[in-house]
Amino acid sequence: MKSSKKKTAGGETHQTKDEQHPVLTSNQGIHISDNQNSLKAGARGPVLLEDFVLREKIFHFDHERIPERIVHARGSAAHGFFELYESLADLTKADIFQRAGEKTPLFTRFSTVAGGAGSVDTPRDVRGFAVKFYTKEGNWDLVGNNIPVFFIQDAIKFPDLIHAVKMEADRGYPQAGSAHDTFWDFASLMPETSHMLMWAMSDRTLPRSLRMMEGFGIHTFRFINAKGKTSFVKFHWKPKAGLQSTVWDETLKLQAADNDYHRRDLFEAIDSGNFPEWELGIQVFDQKKADSLPYDVLDSTKLIPEEVIPVRIIGRMVLDRNPDNFFAETEQVAYCPANIVPGIDFTNDPLLQGRLFSYLDTQKSRLGTANFHQIPVNAPKCPFMNFQRDGQMQMQVPKGRSNYEPNSLDAAGENAGPRECPVTGFSSVAGRPEMEEQGDKLRIRPASFADHYSQARMFFHSQTPNEQAHIASAFVFELSKVTLDHVPPRMLANLRNVSEELAARVAKGLGVSLPAKAAAAAPVQEFKPSPALSIQKNMKETLQGRCVGILIDDGSDAALIEKLQKDISKAGGSVKLIARKLNGLVLNNNSGIKAHGQLAGSPSQLFDAVAIVLSQKGTETLLKEGAAVQFVMDAFGHLKAIGYTKEAMPLLEKAGVAMDEGVQEAGKNFVAAAAKRYFDREPNVRMLA
């Protein structure tokens, strides 16, 4: 039978009834006409609650895993506070943004997306970045990622995305990785994933530390001030420690060296008083500006470059206390994008609209009770009361005879029941002006969502040549794991719309010919590069919050070790002494010393820079130790600074270290050199696409 295809305005291709496939149905056997788009009132209007296809699909998806989170299962979290720099009373009536200098308690959880709770910290993956603000008006949850865009435009596709990226249904692997058939089959069929794929294949998904990554609210929200004036707003978290990522080989070896690398790093930083900080920034704009942009601000696969609308820094988040109990707090915390306070409102972003439904349902399934909001980590720190009584695990003891409203039984006195308050209560924007609030009921993407490649192209062109090579190499690695012959060419056809150079490099790395360019649903536009999108262009040359590993042995220079420890500490860094044995070492002044880590269990990938402080005798000993040679070899291959004593040079030579500006004598300029990575070295240590 001859196949037939249809295209939506957003450019997705899917099957029609004359193809030889079973008909997709609901769980009740009802045939589904469109599995790509939620039912909306008008092309850009709100998603309708009557969409039983969306509700059934997400409802089933939300309940597929018990009790582990379906996504973001592996997480690490901490308590802290938000401090406002300046009043935003002109923009929003939200109480948290009224008084400069005021601090609001919060709880922040970071996570990987694809892996289960028992997976490792460091795979190539998007990181969740969720903040629960305990404001005086109730809880506000800013639930985002370390990437400002997402793979899909409509929440109805979220179950498909996660099913594709998770372990394959028949074999239960791979865990916590996207380098397999089902993910790339899905991604290659969904051009709207193109922009997010560029981020996912970049170093953004290989963070050096949770403390050194940005966070984003992803969606466009609204601010509402006391006079009812509204503005669009997008939220950004900027790490005070600066951006930094690992390189791919380093990431692989980190998984073997320490499955809990990020969790340990966050916990130890807070435990030592080196509190992680981020500044909160906002992009604020009006309807006129939104209309002038060559992309739709309601499309979650798009961002607004900081060069177009600068990020205004308005406050800071400090994480200053580790959880007292991992399960009670980190595991039981329940975030929900629907948790907002007066002065903040939603837009009709169809991905956001679906998330507003999904999260609450998920929490009920995971935590087993409609009263999960009473768990201490989830409970507001302001008074809360209503007529929602009973249920499993009811921890409160509501007083009064009436459990309904309106009522006239508890109108006054000690047991007076709660009543609505039009003055201070939450109210949505009346008739959001950016939307068509009325229209035909239909399943369709607006034409303004159809450009899937222009911003992906902008992202690639915004990177340094080194970062572009990392992206190309990541595509080669991922697609080399795909066993379906027809999938890589389909992905390459899409990549040609992003960058001919990128597609050619990936094709060469795979050893295949370039296919014809995929048809684009909308013309590909040429946007100016955005330097803010590059990690390497925005890295800080600093040792603040970084750790230096010093390799020592018998006879090492005690005075030099003491000086390095002092200088590194002064620069804001920390030191760990590494040796072939933890105890019993004797330095050149005959003093004994205890190491922090044993060489075989403390490889150089755990550190931001290394120093090799050895005597001639120590060098002769470690030349016979493979772990010592690998320690130096990996530090050089991972583009880190290496300090050395002259006596240690034979070890550097055996490890293949070539002298460059990142290789310095330990007693001279090493501490300054240790504050950066040496990306110019990379072409000499590995082949990239």
**What would the pLDDT profile of 75-114 be if each residue is shown by its tens digit?**
999 999 999 999 999 999 999 999 999 999 999 999 999 9
The answer to whether 74 and 121 are in contact (CB under 8 A) is: yes
pLDDT at 682 over 60: yes
Mean of per-residue pLDDT scores for the chain: 92
Note if the bond before 123 is cis, omega within 30 degrees.
no
Kindly state the helix (H) or strand (E) to which residue 553 belongs, with its residue range. none
Least Cα distance to 284 among 435, 91, 131, 99 occurs for 91
d(CA 349, CA 45): 9
| % of the chain with per-residue pLDDT over 70 | 95
The answer to whether 123 and 319 are in contact (CB under 8 A) is: no
| % of the chain with per-residue pLDDT over 90 | 80
Residue with tokens 């601010």: 223
Least Cα distance to 604 among 655, 664, 561 occurs for 655
pLDDT of residue 276: 98
Exposed e or buried b per residue across 388-425, where buried means at least 16 C-beta atoms within 10 angstroms of its C-beta = eeeeeeeeeeeeeeeeeeeeeebeeeeeebeeeeeeee
The answer to whether 417 and 407 are in contact (CB under 8 A) is: yes
d(CA 678, CA 539): 12
pLDDT at 163 over 60: yes
Q: What single-letter DSSP state applies at residue 207?
A: B
d(CA 389, CA 277): 39
Exposed e or buried b per residue across 430-457, where buried means at least 16 C-beta atoms within 10 angstroms of its C-beta = eebebbeeeeeeebbbbbbbbbbbbbbb
pLDDT of residue 418: 81
Give tens-digit pLDDT for 215-260: 999 999 999 999 999 999 999 999 999 999 999 999 999 999 999 9
Residue with tokens 């080989």: 249
For helices 350-367 and 158-165, angle between their N-to-C axes, nearest 10 degrees: 60
For residue 246, give the amino acid letter: T
Give tens-digit pLDDT for 475-488: 999 999 999 999 99
When the candidates are 3.40.50.970, 3.40.50.880, 1.10.10.10, 3.90.1150.10, the CATH number that belongs to 543-684 is 3.40.50.880
| Mean predicted confidence (pLDDT) in 626-652 | 98
Could you tell me which residues are beta bridge partners of residue 312?
Answer: 282
What residues contact 624, with CB distance under 8 A and at least 6 apart? none
pLDDT of residue 7: 47
The answer to whether 110 and 266 are in contact (CB under 8 A) is: yes
pLDDT of residue 3: 42
d(CA 498, CA 502): 8
pLDDT category at 12 given cuts 50, 70, 90 is very low
The answer to whether 521 and 191 are in contact (CB under 8 A) is: yes
* Domain boundaries of the chain, sorted by first residue: 66-148+207-374, 543-684
| Mean predicted confidence (pLDDT) in 624-648 | 97
| Mean predicted confidence (pLDDT) in 261-284 | 97
pLDDT at 11 over 50: no
The answer to whether 584 and 573 are in contact (CB under 8 A) is: no
CATH architecture of 66-148+207-374: Beta Barrel (2.40)
Instruction: Find the range with the poorest average confidence among 7-16, 127-136, 499-508, 638-647.
Output: 7-16
Least Cα distance to 75 among 126, 19, 35, 33 occurs for 126
Alpha helices in 272-349 (DSSP H): 287-292
pLDDT of residue 437: 62
Q: What single-letter DSSP state applies at residue 605?
A: G
pLDDT category at 284 given cuts 50, 70, 90 is very high
Least Cα distance to 113 among 145, 141, 142, 143 occurs for 145
pLDDT of residue 9: 47
| Mean predicted confidence (pLDDT) in 456-465 | 98
β-pairing verdict for 574-579 and 585-586: unpaired
The answer to whether 323 and 108 are in contact (CB under 8 A) is: no
The answer to whether 654 and 675 are in contact (CB under 8 A) is: no
Least Cα distance to 123 among 275, 250, 23, 308 occurs for 250
d(CA 204, CA 201): 8
pLDDT of residue 433: 54
Higher pLDDT, 443 or 26: 443
| Mean predicted confidence (pLDDT) in 349-359 | 93
Kindly state the helix (H) or strand (E) to which residue 340 belongs, with its residue range. none
pLDDT at 16 over 80: no
| Mean predicted confidence (pLDDT) in 630-637 | 98
pLDDT of residue 8: 46
pLDDT at 74 over 80: yes
| Mean predicted confidence (pLDDT) in 209-214 | 98
d(CA 266, CA 127): 14
β-pairing verdict for 609-612 and 547-551: parallel
Count other C-beta atoms under 10 Å from residue 48's C-beta: 13
Give tens-digit pLDDT for 292-336: 999 999 999 999 999 999 999 999 999 999 999 999 999 999 999
For residue 671, CA distances in Å to 250, 562, 664 come to: 22, 13, 9
d(CA 608, CA 573): 10
Give tens-digit pLDDT for 402-446: 888 888 887 666 667 788 888 888 878 776 555 556 778 899 999
| Mean predicted confidence (pLDDT) in 344-355 | 95
pLDDT of residue 52: 86
The answer to whether 575 and 602 are in contact (CB under 8 A) is: no
φ/ψ region of 2 (left if φ > 0, alpha if ψ in -120 to 50, else beta) reads beta
Catalytic residues: 72, 145
Could you tell me which residues are beta bridge partners of residue 282?
Answer: 235, 312
Count other C-beta atoms under 10 Å from residue 473's C-beta: 20
Query: What is the total residue count of the chain?
Result: 689
pLDDT at 17 over 70: no
